[in-house]
């Protein structure tokens, strides 16, 4: 349990260091959602499938990219917490990609 608490604290400290970028990303997402809500003919239900596929693709790519970007490798992951952290990071990237793709996919026509 300590490892999970430590990982959460590390994520919080990193977020506090880059909060302006996180705020800008949140504002960009809000602008995308607002544009999709204001556009007539936005189909949110139809956009959910493509957004989910984009999220899954990004999550799968993150499983392989994150160890490489941190100058590590999947072969060096021998502890369950390493795998849990990698899964959480990959799912987080996938969820963010899906959240950004959903309003864009909802605005698509055809």
4 within domain boundaries: no
Q: Is residue 27 part of a domain?
A: yes
> How many domains does the chain contain in total?
1
Contact between 50 and 105 under an 8 Å Cβ cutoff? The reply is yes
Is residue 47 within 8 Å of residue 102, measured between CB atoms?
A: yes
Residue 42 domain-assigned (yes or no): yes
pLDDT score at 63: 95
Determine the straight-line distance between the first and last CA of the chain, rounded to whole angstroms. Answer: 49
- Whether the model clears a pTM of 0.75, i.e. scores above it, the answer is yes
Mean pLDDT per 10-residue interval, the chain, length 110 residues? 83 92 97 95 93 98 93 86 90 97 88
| Residue 59 is assigned to a structural domain of this protein | yes
The answer to whether residue 10 sits within a structural domain is: no
Residue 9 lies in a domain: no
Residue 44 lies in a domain: yes
The range of the structural domain enclosing residue 103 comes to 23-108
Is 18 within the bounds of a domain?
no
DSSP code per residue over 11-56: HHHHHHHTHHHHHHHHHHHHHHHHHHHHSTT--HHHHHHHHHHHHH
Angle subtended at Cα 26 by Cα 44 and Cα 61, rounded to the nearest 5 degrees: 75
């Amino acid at each position: 349990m300590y490892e999970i608490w430590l990982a959460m604290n590390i994520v919080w400290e990193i977020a506090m260091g880059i909060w302006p970028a996180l705020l800008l990303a949140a504002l960009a997402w809000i602008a995308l959602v607002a544009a999709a809500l204001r556009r007539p003919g936005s189909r949110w239900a139809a956009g959910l499938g493509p957004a989910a596929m984009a999220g899954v693709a990004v999550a799968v790519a993150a499983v392989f990219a994150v160890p490489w970007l941190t100058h590590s490798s999947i072969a060096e992951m021998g502890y369950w917490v390493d795998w849990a952290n990698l899964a959480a990071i990959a799912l987080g990237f996938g969820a963010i990609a899906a959240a950004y793709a959903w309003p864009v996919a909802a605005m698509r026509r055809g």
